[in-house]
Structure 1
Amino acid sequence: MITLGNVSRLLAGIVAIATVFGALLADFLIPAGAAQHLRNDAWPPHAKFHDAQYIVMSLLLGVIALILLVRRGGDRFPTLGSACAILAVPWLALLGALLFPGTAIQDPEFDNPSPLGLHPQVLLSLTLLALLLAAVLLTARKQPGTARSGFGE
């Protein structure tokens, strides 16, 4: 039977899988992306270190969220809300990094396609954050009163 809780879990699970594998694939394994990141000879070792740190952080946060989602009660608001908050961290961090002086979403020598006028990483971040918001709202709707009382109750 399809329930709001199952749909919420599915939405969050999609984001969790993207979080576990996204940065690893895009920044290290897929040649076109890796050439702009960890396999970019123009990047100093310390910049590569921080990208590798982001990859490992994203993987770990995704795994933690998946564990919360698959365990019993993973469709309940406090658990699902916690998983969604954990999953939002790397995607919000990607957007927040744009606010720091001297940062750019890509190096000038690369030209990435811009669907909807947004850099693909920004579009992906906004899409995944929208899925997380939908998951939380569906779960809160399923359990009246939880949205008012907060995650910990």
Structure 2
Amino acid sequence: MTTTVSRTPSAPRVLAVLVAVITAFGALLADFVIPAGAAQHLRNDAWPPHAKFHDAQYIAMSMLLGVLALTVLLRRGGATRSRVWTACAILATPWLGLLAALVFPGTAIHDPEFAGTTIVGLHPQVLLAVILLALLTVAVALTARRRD
């Protein structure tokens, strides 16, 4: 039996690739490269070295998970549905972790001196996590409706 592989990427795969690129580079840019974000994170003189260590750990983890998901998504052959679902599960990990960190005692989404920045009532990181998790949910739902 011969199967034809479409050269046009599917909508679920495009959504997942978009989230993978944002996941791979977003934390690095926001917490280390872009001056406004870096001043609140790795370049924040008020942060102790151990806090900076954990932010660097999050940046490295996000980059690794993003690249891993891209590898899964861009690989040829095999079942598209399982690849998209696997990549979406990988990509959801840092964003669900960000949201879950909010329920731990003594944590905050921002330091007091940086309070006040919200978009539609949410801290920008929380809003980004919600948007990206919604895109991953759409990708999984669309993939579930497709035939492999």
TM-score w.r.t. length of structure 2 = 0.91
Aligned residue for 2:14? 10
Query: Mind listing any 5+ residue stretches in structure 2 that lack a counterpart?
Result: 1-5
Contact 1:9 1:74 in 2 (8 A): no
Contact 1:28 1:38 in 2 (8 A): yes
Aligned residue for 1:19? 23
Contact 1:38 1:52 in 2 (8 A): yes
Contact 1:69 1:75 in 2 (8 A): no
Contact 1:6 1:75 in 2 (8 A): no
Aligned residue for 1:137? 141
Distance 1:42 1:16 in 2: 31
Aligned pair partner of 1:121 in 125, 129, 133: 125
Written as runs of structure 1 = structure 2, the 5 A alignment for 1:17-96 is 17-73=21-77, 76-96=80-100
Deviations 1:87-135 (A, max 9, x none): 0000000000001000000000013531110000000000000000000
Distance 1:126 1:18 in 2: 13
Distance 1:131 1:24 in 2: 21
Deviation at 1:39, TM superposition (A): 0.3
Question: Which aligned segments of 4 or more residues in structure 1 are displaced greater than 2 angstroms?
Answer: none
Distance 1:78 1:43 in 2: 41
Distance 2:114 2:126 in 1: 16
Aligned residue for 2:3? none
Query: Mind listing any 5+ residue stretches in structure 1 that lack a counterpart?
Result: 145-153
Contact 1:9 1:75 in 2 (8 A): no
Alignment RMSD (CA, Å) = 1.8
- Which has the higher mean CA deviation after the structures are superposed, 112-121 or 16-25? 112-121
Distance 1:110 1:120 in 2: 12
Deviation at 1:78, TM superposition (A): 0.9
Contact 1:92 1:125 in 2 (8 A): yes
Deviation at 1:137, TM superposition (A): 0.5
Aligned in 2, Cα 1:35/1:74: closer, same or farther, shift over 3 Å? farther
The residue identity in structure 2 corresponding to 1:114 is: T
Residue identity (%): 67
Deviation at 1:52, TM superposition (A): 0.1
Q: How many pairs are equivalent?
A: 143
Deviation at 1:73, TM superposition (A): 3.8
